Amino acid sequence: MCAAALCGAAYGGSRQDATDFRGLLPPDVKTVGIVSVSSLIPTNVLVRGTNLLAEAGYRVKVMPNVLKMEPPGVRARLFEQAWMDQEIDFLLFSRGGQGASNVISRIDWNRLRGRRMRVLGFSDVTLVLGAMLLKDAGVPISGPTLSTLATYCSKESRERLRMVLDGTPPPLQLKPVKHCASAVGGKPVVGLLSRLVVLSDMGYLPPFDGRIVFIECTPKYAASSESSLDKLLSKGAFDKAAAVVFCDFNRNWEQGRIDALFARFAAKVSCPVFSGYPYGHVPRSFAIDCSRRLGISATGTLEWQQR
């Protein structure tokens, strides 16, 4: 299904300008594949998002399960089909939600290693991106879904996505929670805390060894956030991590309570810990390319390294 098939209905809310989406993706991207392994996207949001991409000059191919819930095996096959479609240059998840845990073990990761596909999403998509890292398949990019881009994603976040994808994001200052004596570096692992635990339970958690781990947590999972961190700690997940960076965390908590949680966690790990990276289920959320190395200075300045 192409975007043209969805363009009959107009989105009733405030409309972003298509120029905001022009040049959003690298110059070699001509066709964007919209995929789903989780919850369904509302039709009006799909129409709005695909229209914006089409008006910005991209061809859009929408997989048939984006608007129709299919069994996990079918969702896995359609994801593989989109990945291996030679017309598609870039995969964008329609939304997160839930359901990916039933799909990732059904995906033929050996087949997908044959093509280096860039894949963008977050939230429940943490499960797919984590499996990609574990299986060394494609280029996982943690950032906005089509739903996010079409609704609440800020203009600053879209600009940051452009810069991350073309390799030119500027430095960003983090807040040190546990100081380190010198700079640290590594490739990122990124995700929603609850989904990182699911990956661990399923045996799909990519090793954190030598990596910088970015973690977010939504209000829905606030009450279990400390126990989730402790569960990962008990499995030794952070034993060889280069650093941990807390992103958007439990917005229904006061800042003092969040800071205390970070401090307790920092006391349990040997690596440096930082907070303040803008990423998560919020308008100001900066994408992270998990295939690209970055460094953090002892004072908390994050810089992406040259490819």
Domain locations in the chain as residue ranges = 3-153, 172-304
Neighbouring CB atoms inside 10 A of 30's CB total 13
Residue 23 reports pLDDT greater than 60? yes
pLDDT single digits (tens) 97-149: 999 999 999 999 999 999 999 999 999 999 999 999 999 999 999 999 999 99
- The pLDDT, as a whole number, for residue 125 is 98
Residue 7 reports pLDDT greater than 50? no
Q: Where are the alpha helices (DSSP H) in 11-71?
A: 43-55
User: What does pTM read for this prediction?
Assistant: 0.94
Q: Which helix (H) or strand (E) holds 214?
A: strand 212-217
The arithmetic mean of pLDDT across residues 15-25, rounded, is 79
The class level of CATH for 172-304 reads alpha beta
Q: How far apart are CA 35 and CA 121, in angstroms?
A: 10
- The pLDDT, as a whole number, for residue 251 is 85
> Cβ(126)–Cβ(195) under 8 Å?
yes
The class level of CATH for 3-153 reads alpha beta
- Distances in Å between the alpha carbon of 25 and those of 81, 162, 252, 289? 21, 6, 33, 13
> Cβ(198)–Cβ(232) under 8 Å?
no
Q: Where are the alpha helices (DSSP H) in 138-269?
A: 146-150, 155-166, 193-202, 225-234, 255-266
pLDDT single digits (tens) 50-109: 999 999 999 999 999 999 999 999 999 999 999 999 999 999 999 999 999 999 999 999
Q: Which two tokens stand for residue 248?
A: 């958007």
- Distances in Å between the alpha carbon of 7 and those of 30, 46, 93, 263? 19, 10, 19, 50
Which of 281, 61, 21 lies closest to 165 in space, CA to CA?
21
- The pLDDT, as a whole number, for residue 16 is 61
- The pLDDT, as a whole number, for residue 11 is 29
